[in-house]
Amino acid sequence: MSNSSHSLSVSIVVPIYGASAHIGQCAESLLSQTYPNIEFVFVNDGTKDDSIDILRSVVAFHPERKAKVIIVEKENQGVALARKTGISHVKGDYVIQIDADDWVETDMVDRMVNVILATGADLVYTDYYLEFPDRQEIAFEKEYSDQKLLFKDLYNGKNFHGYYWNKLVKRSLYAAVRVWPQYGMRDDLVVVSQLISHAERVVHFPQPFYHYRIGTEGSISNSKISKQKFESARNLMALFDYYHNLPIGERARSPILGVEEDLLLRIGWFAFGAGDFAIFRQYPYLKKLLKAIVPSKKYDLNIFKQWALNLAVRMICVK
């Protein structure tokens, strides 16, 4: 254990649904944290398997943690609302959200708290491990001095990612969140972008602690990919719509300020990929904005995606 002050309290939120294969390893890695001042908020999102029984058995092996473990029961409404429910129960000074099918290094919280105490950061983010079935890689996040560039990379999915689980965030920042996502895809990006826009200091800690498990579900069907794109488009559109329509005097802390085109193009790409043309009827100005920027904008997509998006916009915006 490090010599960091333990007065700073940390809350860990874990939504649980259908996680019986991995919740044991996840919970063990969390309850074994070397930092003592942690509360654990597990949200049972109406899971139908034995995930909660497995969780309780792991908790039983950590009697020193039992008083700080909360299991919140709720009906199944999806991961986005499960996360929001978890946040409503936390009491810690700082919060990190973890996925139930991943695991972390046991000194993760301790080391991140040390960075907060040394820098006064409102938000600390780290590198992380990519756990493939046959190999492990490290994903390196970038450090930024320009917040506009950070948001540009965030919305374009490179160098900085909107995941909850590699970020320890001051709890008070959650009071500034105005758009809570309805769907599961890109739900973290929607919230994290708002947290960052209200943070006074964001610090990169270039060490990996989180093990992100990927590629374990076999092939992904076209229908599932389409659903993911639909949810991504809808969540990001809700974010854009709220901040785009704010009075100019209230946009100083907007997470889309100066990067509106980057976010719009990402929304357009997801919407067209999902065949979600209803989004253009619900938000009529979206078609007009895309039509104006696509022909001239050198946006951050590969050549094929640029061609496909340009063609799609021409087809949908011809009227």
pLDDT, mean of residues 295-302? 57
Contacts of 180 (CB under 8 A, 6+ apart): 80, 84, 190, 191
Query: What confidence tens digit (pLDDT) does each residue in 250-282 have?
Result: 888 999 999 998 899 889 889 988 989 899 889
CB 14, CB 44: distance < 8 Å: no
Instruction: Please state the φ and ψ torsions of residue 49, each to the nearest 5 degrees.
Output: -100, -165
Query: What confidence tens digit (pLDDT) does each residue in 101-154 have?
Result: 999 999 999 999 999 999 999 999 999 999 999 999 999 999 999 999 999 999
Residue 136 CB-density burial (10 A; 0-12 exposed, 13-18 middle, 19+ buried) = exposed
* pLDDT value for 223: 65
Q: How far apart are CA 199 and CA 177, in angstroms?
A: 12
299 pLDDT above the threshold of 60: no
CB 36, CB 145: distance < 8 Å: no
* pLDDT value for 3: 47
- Please name every residue paired with 139 in a beta bridge, in sequence order, or none if there are none: 128
Report residue 175's pLDDT band, with 50, 70 and 90 as the boundaries: very high
Lowest mean pLDDT, pick from 5-9, 42-46, 190-194: 5-9
> Which amino acid is located at 162 in the chain?
G
Angle of CA points 268, 271, 274, to nearest 5°: 145
pTM (predicted TM-score): 0.91
Task: Report in angstroms the alpha-carbon separations of 32 from 12, 58, 63, 307.
Answer: 13, 10, 11, 50
Instruction: Please state the φ and ψ torsions of residue 41, each to the nearest 5 degrees.
Output: -115, 105
Q: How far apart are CA 293 and CA 167, in angstroms?
A: 33
pLDDT, mean of residues 282-300? 76
What phi-psi label fits residue 215: left (phi over 0), alpha (psi between -120 and 50 degrees) or beta? left
Complete domains list, the chain, with CATH: 10-213 (3.90.550.10), 222-316 (no CATH)
Q: How far apart are CA 104 and CA 30, in angstroms?
A: 7
* pLDDT value for 295: 61
Report the interhelical angle of 284-293 vs 303-316 (nearest 10°): 130
297 pLDDT above the threshold of 60: no
Whole-number mean pLDDT of the chain? 90
* pLDDT value for 307: 52
